[in-house]
Amino acid sequence: MKFLITGAGGQVGVELIADLRRRGHSVVGTDVAPRPSLVADDVTWHLLDVTDAARVQYVFGNETPDVVVHLAAILSSGGEQNPQLCYAINMTGTYNVLEACRRFQTKPRLIFTSTIAAFGPGLPDPVPNEVSMRPTTMYGVTKVAGELLGEYYFAKYGLDFRCVRYPGLISAGKPGAGTSDYALFMYTSGIRDGRYAAFCRPDTRIPFMYMPDAIRATVELSLADRAKLTRCTYNIAAMSPRADEIAASVVKGVAPQAVAITFDPVEWRQKILDSWPRALDAGRAAADWGWKAQYDLDAMTRDMVPKVREMVARGLLPKE
């Protein structure tokens, strides 16, 4: 199958491209930035600003993909610093992508990536798939709207819209201005600098997932039999460790290297974290398309520490 990915130069996109190519699929990457060094030269790459409707339509029309994975977005921390830009990219950009898909005679399957930021405070623990959603950030507001807009296009135009709600993602790659990145920095800064002061309280608990699981979930949902799907949007889940539990796993995992992880909460970031769920119920995804995570906290640490060490040795981890 031919996949087209928006926002392909980001943390998720680079790893998704590699995974799809290993599976034998054709991939087209698009982003506002040039091709990242980690993306092979033989991958077709287009400079694409998703807020430019004419350009989106042109690229989609020329590439005629079977599946579009829409990753282009401003994340939570970046969105709070520039909510106007977040709205433009996450809302106008998503509308442009939906419209480009709708206009094809043979409509491509559209995979939309949502987030735990779409939820708000005061929800059950774990949070079920269907629940009242009252996000507290521009990022969350745009993701709820994107979910609902995609479901509208599914009902009105027959567009095969599928959405996966990511937990906080942890990867050895470059962070993307997400509020959950304190966990990633424990690994990267801890290994590179021997210390890290997390911008959250030690008792902070939100859902997390190791990137290989998130990539696999995205691909599995994109390839699932539509007849077996009972909805458009799915929670996925893996682990929900406290921040101090992540710190302990990192310290244990990098031994005998000395690592000091402390906590220095930043009020506006902590407020966002406290508004998010502590855990997600992924029962719908398990029932409809067999979702099951492969990595818990310590398994992630064992796999990730050598990768981060290699990136540090190669000078691929710039200062945050």
**Is residue 87 flagged as an active site residue?**
no
Catalytic residue among 87, 95, 139, 234: 139
Cα–Cα nearest to 67, from 150, 131, 151, 5: 5
* 104, amino acid identity: F
Q: Say which residues have a Cβ less than 8 Å from residue 178's Cβ, sequence separation at least 6.
A: 75, 76, 77, 168, 169
Instruction: Tell me the C-alpha distance between 271 and 193, whole Å.
Output: 27
Known catalytic residues are: 139
